[in-house]
Amino acid sequence: MFSDRITDELHYFCPMSDSPIYHKHLFICTNQRPDNAPRPSCGEAHGLELVVAFKKAINEANLGVPIRAQKSGCLDLCELGPTVVVYPDGIFYGSVQLSDVHEIVQEHLVNNRPVERLRLREHPKKAK
């Protein structure tokens, strides 16, 4: 018989679990390319500032459920950055500005309504 602790660890390692560790999990691209790279990078465009702002806004919202915001590597939507993805919804946001953080937290994380004006619906490579 598993203890609660072991059961919790299994949920963490089992992506198909119906009991995820985080209610919402945000990945914020902070990728930074070298100067003269052929593609832009979110890190140059305040990616790290977004991570700090999301963490602060989530903390202040005091949601009562586990929500994590963290930096990520390139999400391959560089031309549309800075980019953020929210799981388990799989909703991508593009051109996210510091002034958008509060709206994403209030609408998407608190009210469970994605912010449509920032939402990316199709990968640009797929659209070609």
| Least distance in angstroms from the C-beta of 78 to ligand FES | 3
What residues contact 106, with CB distance under 8 A and at least 6 apart?
61
The distance between the two most distant Cα atoms of the chain, rounded to a whole number of Å, is 57
| Least distance in angstroms from the C-beta of 50 to ligand FES | 11
Q: Which is nearer to ligand FES, 1 or 127 (CB)?
A: 127
| Least distance in angstroms from the C-beta of 125 to ligand FES | 12
Residues that bind ligand FES (CB under 6 A): 29, 31, 41-42, 74-78, 81, 83
User: What distance in Å separates the CA atoms of residue 123 and residue 80, rounded to the nearest whole number?
Assistant: 10
Q: Which is nearer to ligand FES, 88 or 124 (CB)?
A: 124
Residue with tokens 């602790």: 5
